[in-house]
Structure 1
Amino acid sequence: MTANTLDAAALYDLTRPRPRPRRSAYGILCAVLILGLLAWILSLLFDTGQFIPTKWRPFEYPGTRELLLRGLGITLKAFGSAAVLSPALGFVLATGRLSHHRWVRRPATVVVEFFRALPVLVMIFFVLVVLRAQPLLALVAGLTLHHGSVLAEVFRSGVHCVDRGQREAALALGMRRTRVMSYVLVPQALRAVLPAVAGQLVVILRDTSLGFLITQEEFLHAGRLIASNLDYDLPFIPVVMVISPICIGMCMLLSRSARWVARRERRSPETEAVDVAPAEPGTLLPGGTLTPSRCGGVQ
């Protein structure tokens, strides 16, 4: 081995074909374990009679399907409202926390820290009991206050992640602080924090199930009514097997949509590959120089 090869081996981990079969074996082993776990769970479900027609018969009734669809609609309504109001509140609070005026920054900081520290369920019950609001309004308000405060910190961290030199260059050009924030910092910060915002939206969708505790007729509450109020042998497991894939599918769809938006936001027309025809030898370039000729010199 040459000296350069020895130096590279000392500084870096050289890629070797030996770990590849080992990683393949680990992957196969994990797949076998997962399949074995699924087979064990299915065997338990079959042994306890969870797939007998009697427990699945309630889903044949139009009333049962209507109840599930109505609960799903209320869940999506609560999620849509909170998904719109939470980023709006977070942007307002983040703007207050980034303000250079102390009388704006300190109250915004207190509001963010207060609502971010309180559990979501406490805020939902506070709005429901103290303010005597409707269950849906209490659910949306609790989700908005908590997740809006979390998103405020996400937006603020995104602004601080932008290179400080861009702020200083914009101020040196004579731009006002508000214009620097609006045209220089915020667009770049939104691109940087978009994955975190998407993850927080998934959490909002998951937290809509807390409406079950305040008797809000959302998706989970509808499943509980089906499992407990029918004259059958408590079809709890079939209800879970129907509701869980729908909830997981909605979260996966939301995550994939967020990743697709993030990829489109990262794409820039200025950096995309453009087919440029090669210049002919002897062509005058913008700098006033000539392209080299085929013989290697300059014409």
Structure 2
Amino acid sequence: MSTQAVLFDVPGPKARLRHRILTAVGVVLVVAIAYVIYLQFEKAGQLKAFMWEPFVTDPEVWTSYLIPGLKGTFTAAAISIVLAVVFGLLFGMGRLSPFAPLRWFCSVIVEFFRSVPVLLMMVFAYFGYFATSDIVPNQHAPLAAVVTALTLYNGAVIAELVRSGVHGLPAGQSEAGLAVGLTPGQVLRSIQLPQALTAMLPALVGQLVVVLKDSALGYGITYLELLNWSKTLGSAYANTVPAYIVAGILFILVNYTLTKFAVYLEGRMKKRRAKA
């Protein structure tokens, strides 16, 4: 019997019919909403051919606006996810420490940064520190603020992933390590942490999707990422709505690719565990 069969009853004929009806109603509602949006865009003249032609006929739309925007988004996301993994590993291990003061300190830090909105951290980091100090050049202050906020928030999330991943391992593994003379710290570093990281790899890739999406919040502190460049593009070509739509499509394509990669990784790891 599969896990799904244990957790959920198999739907009967009436339940399946009800699901089909609800699905059909949902599809009709989505189509209706999409049609209303289409009519509004058509009424406002946002779907006229000349509004969309620059994306096909003018290379500068891509070379001067959209590609630099993607570069800014990827730069902030790449730096942030690397630093967030380091932050998450350190504070995740700290939350698992047998030394109570260290464990409490790491728990407070993690819970604090998980609770503060990312945009608020960006604003504080930018206006409260980087924009008024010489620690980074002025032109890099928005990037530094975006990276700081994304690192702190996503690092706190990864720290919780590390903690829950280690707690999800069989207790016999740590007991066996202690039985052969390893210290709790050695057991964590050499036995538990490698397995937890392997198990949480799909979740880490999924967190990268969150980082990419949240990088758009840098718009609020003038960081030149995809959303900000799309605004500039819309002003230059008088097609603001099409510019934002194209930016949204690019975000969807990138995040969908990462999501599918996370699903692929999860499937590979399930097969590997099944063979083991």
Structure 1 length as normaliser, TM-score?
0.76
Shift, 1:92, TM fit: 0.8
- Aligned residue for 1:271? 275
- Aligned residue for 2:98? 100
Q: Give me the whole-angstrom Cα distance separating, in 1, the residues matched to 2:97 and 2:38.
A: 57
Shift, 1:266, TM fit: 2.2
Q: Secondary structure, in 3 states, of the residue corresponding to 1:237?
A: helix
Is 2:214 aligned against 1:207? yes
- Aligned residue for 1:62? 59
What is the identity, as a one-letter code, of the residue corresponding to 1:217? L
What is the identity, as a one-letter code, of the residue corresponding to 1:52? K
Shift, 1:110, TM fit: 3.3
Number of residue pairs aligned between Structure 1 and Structure 2: 258
- Aligned residue for 1:296? none
The one-character-per-residue Cα deviations of 1:102-141 (angstroms, maximum 9, x if unpaired) are: 3533332333233333322233233323233422122112
The one-character-per-residue Cα deviations of 1:134-182 (angstroms, maximum 9, x if unpaired) are: 2212211221122111211121121112232332233223333233213
- Aligned residue for 2:169? 162
Is 2:24 aligned against 1:28? yes
Is the CA contact (8 Å cut-off) linking 2:231 and 2:244 kept in structure 1?
no
Structure 2 length as normaliser, TM-score?
0.82
- Aligned residue for 2:258? 254
- Map 1:1-299; keep pairs closer than 5 Å: 16-59=12-55, 60-66=57-63, 67-129=65-127, 130-131=129-130, 132=133, 133=136, 134-230=141-237, 232=238, 235-268=239-272, 271=275
Cα root mean square deviation, aligned? 2.5
Normalized per residue, the structure richer in helix is 2
Flag the structure with larger Rg: 1
Name stretches of at least 5 consecutive residues in structure 2 with no aligned partner: 1-7
Is the CA contact (8 Å cut-off) linking 2:81 and 2:154 kept in structure 1?
no
Structure 1 residues 246-255 or 220-229, which shifts more? 220-229
Structure of greater relative contact order (alpha carbons < 8 Å, 6+ residues apart): 2
The one-character-per-residue Cα deviations of 1:6-44 (angstroms, maximum 9, x if unpaired) are: xxxxxx968644443443333333323322332332233
Structure 1 residues 237-246 or 180-189, which shifts more? 180-189
The one-character-per-residue Cα deviations of 1:36-68 (angstroms, maximum 9, x if unpaired) are: 332332233223221113322443433322211
Q: Give me the whole-angstrom Cα distance separating, in 2, the residues matched to 1:105 and 1:73.
A: 38
Gap change, CA 1:164 and 1:222, over 3 Å in 2: same
